[in-house]
């Protein structure tokens, strides 16, 4: 029987989870995250030791249905109140807050916390099934346009509507890619590469260079992560690596693929257009999910209009040998190629092999060698310089410097 076209499956619920400042108890929230994703929920996990402003900023930019904090080390009465207050002060009091914390948060604490803006506390011994049922019952709601939203929340909601496939009112229609007069014209870079190569870590380090070198500039990051094909849920973990995204000059948004097999969410083209059209960003970095040999997430090979202005392909030394390298289509078209994890002993050989592969292309592609896990890495400096040079971001474009390979004896 043909499925009815008019029935749209409800958009997955999006929840931000985090552990407060000075608290490293992340085992509980990790269990909860997995369970939420198993129940079809998209989880944006911020990590442990997170500040009030980092949590509020992430909740706004991710446009979540609810914030869930896991708190064990005490201080919860003040901390939860501050998160609720910060959301309220920024005009986002509609984002509810709940939490859990084993034996630390008492019933008496909860009564005070409820008066101060916390919705509820899940206590020790509450079955996970019950927690999931309550969350689905009380926090799922259809995405709607809200005229009073301002700033990052308005932008975030427009992206949510694009993700949900909701017809947008005229005010939120993505504008053409050219920025309106007097506004910034963003340089959009697609970042692709196998899962685990260090794309997110590298993006974070590039963000730090941007913040240092482009005073007053604003950067957006669109991080695509896979949805679970069975449950439809997802753990959108790219924000955990995003140390430098804790800055109001950074707009960070996670997108789940929701069944799209291109390496990007189906909403990514609209989201990119919305970010470009906002006229407030100098640089937009779009991270694909971990891509395979035939992937072309940014349409650089002519199947439809290209989504980005330039492409960065990131590899780690474990790509599996020369033959594997030959098969990676994006190495033919990427404007910039980075060999990351140059602290690994295999990096030396990998550098020679990838360089030979790029030489065969005959396009003058430069191979950048980076160690994104290390702050102040000279290879990342050089990569940012090259990127800024192509994008005309400033005059800080530098030459490629060799990375400091730590080759084992
Ligand atoms: C495991 C544990 C540790 C592990 C943490 C491992 C990790 N990576 O998380 C280790 C051994 C490392 C550790 C270290 C410490 N710990 Co400790 N730890 C615990 C312990 C025994 C269990 C916590 C836990 O994970 N439980 C498992 C979860 C799944 O069960 P639950 O808590 O019942 O959770 C339920 C609900 O609360 C809810 N929930 C919880 N979070 C969330 C979040 C969301 C979004 C939702 C929806 C629901 C939800 O879900 C569950 C449903 O049943 C507690 C004691 C306790 N009973 O709470 C002490 C405890 C929290 N630790 C304590 C202390 C003091 C410490 C240390 C300071 C010890 C030290 N001196 O070094 C350090 C601090 C570490 C740090 N960096 O913060 C104290 C805190 C006292 C206080 N608040 O005043 C406690 C209470 C022990 C005690 N009685 O003294 N700890
Ligand atoms: N040794 C080493 N590890 C790195 C480097 N860059 C990233 N990593 C680690 O590699 C893992 C995957 O990184 P991530 O940025 O999430 O990869 P992605 O899947 O490509 O986005 C993380 O544990 C990072 O800390 C690096 O230069 N050297
Ligand atoms: Mg990533």
Estimate the share of the chain in helix, then strand, then coil, as percent rounded to the nearest 5. 35, 15, 50
Nearest-CA residue for atom 11 of ligand 1:
25
200 lines ligand 2 (CB under 6 A): yes
Residue 106: DSSP 8-state = -
Do the two domains 14-139 and 177-391 of this chain adopt the same fold? yes
Whether residue 252 contacts residue 244, with contact meaning beta carbons closer than 8 Å, is answered with: no
For 115, the token pair is: 């008066």
Q: Is the CB of 198 under 6 A from ligand 2?
A: yes
Sheet holding 66-70, edge to edge: 120-122, 97-100, 66-70, 14-18, 42-45, 234-236
Question: Could you give the 3-state DSSP secondary structure of residue 95?
Answer: coil
Angle formed at CA 269 by CA 264 and CA 275, multiple of 5 degrees: 115
Q: Select from 375, 394, 52 the least CA-distant residue to 204.
A: 375
Tokens standing for residue 332: 């033919």
Q: Decide: 155 and 175 in contact? Cβ < 8 Å.
A: no
3-state secondary structure of 36: helix
Ligand at minimal distance from the CA of 223 is 3
Among 284, 283, 313, CA closest to 297: 313
Return the exposure string of 162-187: e unless at least 16 CB atoms fall within 10 Å of the residue's CB, then b: bbbebeeeeebebeeeebeeeebebb
Q: Is the CB of 118 under 6 A from ligand 1?
A: no
Under CATH, to which class is 177-391 assigned?
A: alpha beta
Ligand 2: atom nearest CA of 344 is 1
Name the residue ranges covered by the structural domains of the chain: 14-139, 177-391
- Distance between CA atoms of residues 348 and 370, nearest Å: 12
Of 26, 34, 24, nearest to 15 by C-alpha is 34
Q: Max CA-CA distance within the chain? A: 70
Ligand 1 pocket check for 25: Cβ under 6 Å: yes
- Supply the pLDDT for residue 400: 39
Ligand 1 centroid – CA 25 distance (Å): 5
φ/ψ (deg, to 5) at 77: -60, -45
Question: Which pair of structure tokens corresponds to residue 318?
Answer: 């474990």
Q: Is the CB of 195 under 6 A from ligand 2?
A: yes
What is the pLDDT, as a whole number, of residue 169? 53
Which residue in the block uniquely carries the two structure tokens 């990514």?
A: 268
pLDDT per residue, tens digit, the chain (409 aa), is 344 444 445 689 999 999 999 999 999 999 999 999 999 999 999 999 999 999 999 999 999 999 999 999 999 999 999 999 999 999 999 999 999 998 899 999 999 999 999 999 999 999 999 999 999 999 999 889 999 999 999 999 999 999 999 866 555 444 444 445 558 999 999 999 999 999 999 999 999 999 999 999 999 999 999 999 999 999 999 998 899 999 999 999 999 999 999 999 999 999 999 999 999 999 999 999 998 777 889 988 877 789 999 999 999 999 999 999 999 999 999 999 999 999 999 999 999 999 999 999 999 999 999 999 999 999 999 999 999 999 998 643 343 333 333 222 2
CA dihedral 285, 286, 287, 289 (to 10 degrees): 180
Q: Which CATH architecture has domain 14-139?
A: 3-Layer(aba) Sandwich (3.40)
Cα of 150 from ligand 3 centre, angstroms: 29
SS (H, E, C) 114-176: HHCCCCEEECCCCCHHHHHHHHHHHHCCCCCCCCCCCHHHHHHHHHHHHHHCCCCCHHHCCCC
Phi, psi values for residue 314, rounded to 5°:
-115, 130
- pTM, two decimal places: 0.92
Which of 235, 319, 372 is the pocket-test mutation for ligand 2 (most atoms within 8 Å of CB)?
Answer: 372
**Ligand 1, atom 26: closest residue by C-alpha:** 28
Give which of 345, 357, 372, 106 is closest to 244, Cα–Cα: 372
pLDDT at 183: 85
């Amino acid at each position: 029987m043909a499925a009815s076209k008019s029935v749209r499956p409800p958009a997955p619920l999006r929840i931000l989870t985090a552990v407060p400042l000075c608290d490293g108890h992340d085992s509980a929230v990790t269990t909860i995250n997995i369970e939420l994703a198993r129940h079809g929920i998209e989880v944006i996990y911020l990590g442990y030791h997170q500040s009030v402003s980092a949590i509020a900023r992430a909740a706004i930019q991710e446009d979540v249905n609810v914030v869930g904090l896991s708190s064990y080390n005490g201080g919860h009465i003040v901390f939860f109140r501050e998160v609720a207050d910060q959301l309220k002060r920024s005009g986002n009091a509609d984002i509810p807050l709940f939490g859990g914390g084993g034996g630390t948060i008492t019933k008496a604490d909860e009564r005070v916390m409820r008066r101060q803006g916390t919705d509820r506390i899940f206590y020790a011994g509450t079955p996970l099934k019950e927690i999931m049922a309550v969350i689905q019952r009380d926090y799922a709601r259809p995405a709607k346009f809200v005229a009073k939203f301002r700033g990052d929340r308005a932008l975030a909601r427009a992206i949510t509507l694009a993700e949900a496939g909701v017809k947008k009112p005229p005010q939120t229609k993505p504008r053409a890619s050219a920025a309106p007069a007097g506004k910034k014209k963003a340089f959009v870079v697609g970042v692709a590469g196998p899962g685990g190569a260090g794309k997110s870590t590298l993006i974070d380090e590039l963000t730090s260079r941007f913040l240092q070198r482009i005073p007053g500039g604003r950067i957006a990051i669109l991080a695509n992560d896979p949805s679970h094909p069975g449950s439809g849920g997802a753990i959108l973990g790219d924000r955990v690596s995003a140390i430098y995204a804790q800055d109001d000059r950074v707009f960070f948004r996670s997108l789940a693929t929701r069944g799209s097999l291109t390496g990007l969410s189906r909403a990514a083209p609209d989201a990119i257009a919305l970010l470009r059209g906002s006229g407030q960003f100098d640089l937009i970095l779009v991270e694909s999910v971990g891509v395979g040999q035939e992937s072309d997430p940014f349409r650089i090979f002519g199947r439809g209009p290209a989504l980005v202005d330039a492409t960065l392909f990131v590899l780690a030394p474990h790509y599996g040998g020369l033959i594997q390298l030959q098969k990676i289509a994006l190495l033919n078209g990427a404007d910039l190629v980075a060999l990351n994890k140059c602290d690994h002993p295999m990096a030396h050989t990998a550098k020679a092999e990838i360089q030979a592969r790029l030489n065969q292309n005959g396009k003058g592609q430069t191979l950048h060698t980076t160690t994104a896990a290390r702050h102040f890495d000279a290879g990342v400096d050089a990569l940012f310089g090259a990127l800024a040079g192509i994008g005309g971001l400033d005059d800080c474009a530098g030459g490629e410097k060799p990375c400091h390979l730590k080759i084992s004896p």
